[in-house]
Chains A and B, each alone.
Chain A
Amino acid sequence: AQRVTQPEKLLSVFKGAPVELKCNYSYSGSPELFWYVQYSRQRLQLLLRHISRESIKGFTADLNKGETSFHLKKPFAQEEDSAMYYCALSGSSNTGKLIFGQGTTLQVKP
């Protein structure tokens, strides 16, 4: 079964501290992984996807197939990073089906 697990509901750090938002997945095929973010009073939007191997707003995420993980990292958190973060998985079908994790609220304190 396809499943995405984000074990932390809330992650609270101080400004300037490193951040790691955990995501583990379960999928038998070759997955595509994404991180979506929802800032306060804004709509859900794509942050980054693993195939692009990009860094967005200082965030990176590496797909680790051995550990079935796709953790989101940033070396120095900023207050504007405070938001709800969702990890999502897309399987090999073409329907565009995305399976989301439960989300982690990141709170960056001054």
Chain B
Amino acid sequence: ETGVTQTPRHLVMGMTNKKSLKCEQHLGHNAMYWYKQSAKKPLELMFVYNFKEQTENNSVPSRFSPECPNSSHLFLHLHTLQPEDSALYLCASSHSGTGPKKLFFGSGTQLSVL
């Protein structure tokens, strides 16, 4: 599949569970992003990776741990989450470099923390 693919589409987890969200892009991009979309709130940037290096951490709690093993894959490892972490988690990718970026988004993972 081309574009940005996120798995799983839906995830329900308890507060003591450990789970991971996966994102994969086949667009040849070198920048990848995690965004959080909560009800009644704007999309919030969580992390940015450029050429596998983390270039932005938007004061995200340590219970969210990103991993970018290569430019095509991005993970978000979750552990001891809180119910307020329930949200839609969106992955995006773009070209790196200067200038404004056109982001390509995945369909998201709808996360519910019980």
Contact = CB atoms under 8 A, between A and B. Distances in A.
B50 A95 contact: yes
Contacts of B90: 44
Given A43-B108, A44-B90, A49 B100 contact: yes
B108 to A, nearest CB: 7
B61 interface: no
A103 to B, nearest CB: 7
Interface in A24-74: 32, 34, 36, 43-46, 49, 51
B55 interface: yes
For chain A, which range describes its interface: under 10, 10 to 19, 20 to 34, or 35 or more residues?
A: 20 to 34
Interface residues of B, number: 28
Contacts of B105: 43-45
A46 B100 CA distance: 12
B42 A90 contact: no
Contacts, number: 56
Interface stretch (B13-21, B72-80, B91-99): B91-99
B33 A96 contact: yes
Interface string B35-48: 00000111111001
Contacts of A34: 100
Most buried by B among A34, A51, A86, A96: A96
A79 B25 CA distance: 32
Contacts of A32: 99-100
Contact of B42 (A4, A49, A51): A4
Contacts of B98: 94
A98 interface: yes
Interface of B: 4, 31, 33, 40-45, 48, 50, 55-56, 90, 94, 96-108
